[in-house]
Amino acid sequence: MYRQEYRKQRMAVCARNIGAAVFELSPDEWTAVRLSLQIALTATAFSLPVGILAAYALARWRFPGKMLLDGIIHLPLVLPPVVTGYILLMLLGRRGVLGAFLADYLGIVFSFRWTGAALACGVMGFPLMVRAIRLSIEAIDRRLEDAAGTLGANPIWTFALVTLPLAVPGVVVGAILCFAKALGEFGATITFVSNIPGETQTISAAIFTYTQVPGGDANAWRLTAVAIVIALAALIVSEIVQRQASHRLAQFE
């Protein structure tokens, strides 16, 4: 009896010590965590409207080049991330095809900025978002959309009042997948915006940096634990929101 209580106390103390060690981050590590969340949230927020439109177009519209568009959207899933980052650098770098114009005439610079990291993360997470939303839209009974049309609703109102609310679970899943992908992105970001502490150094880049220096394993482990906690929390929130949305939608069926 006493041994069991002693073991429980030791386990509790060890758990508290491990938790304290994990979250006793240095200012540079907290900066990497903050940047990762900022970049992932920005990438998800700006990708979501475009992702919904692209998913709806692939699910409902018929037009020439649809298969080509589908392939281009999903290309980052099969290309090496470094290749995607290099393409972004050639297109949107300071001397790139589009980057030079944006920098000289509009003052917009993506390369070696945190905004460029958000752009790269958005590109890498975009296919996952589109696929989840597209599958959700394709699962919607078209007769519901047709019924809204017979009642006088134009295509825009039908999409806003019928299609989009029914596709909410897919939208939530797509947004969470994009966020999770952006949170862990490394290859495309380090190629496009490099690894600049305080500007573009995310959790993944910081872990890579710590693994290259002697005695950096403890720092790398702390950031690894933080990344796992954030990703797991995002997936749990996604599951909860999806279940609640599905439950509410089922009440109207």
- Distance between CA 6 and CA 159 in Å, rounded? 62
- pLDDT tens for residues 223-245? 999 999 988 888 888 788 777 76
Domain 42-251 has CATH 3.40.50.300: no
Structure tokens at 23: 């979250």
Share of the chain above pLDDT 90, in %: 44
User: What are the phi and psi torsion angles at 112 (to 5°)?
Assistant: 60, 30
| Band (168; pLDDT cuts 50, 70, 90) | confident
Domain ranges within the chain, ordered by starting residue? 42-251
What would the mean pLDDT of 196-203 be, rounded to a whole number? 90
Specify the range with the lowest mean pLDDT, choosing from 17-31, 88-102, 155-169, 197-211: 17-31
Given a cut of 70, is residue 1 above it in pLDDT?
A: no
- pLDDT tens for residues 17-75? 445 545 578 888 899 999 999 999 999 999 999 999 999 999 998 889 899 999 999 99
Closest by Cα among 143, 191, 150, 185 to 166: 143
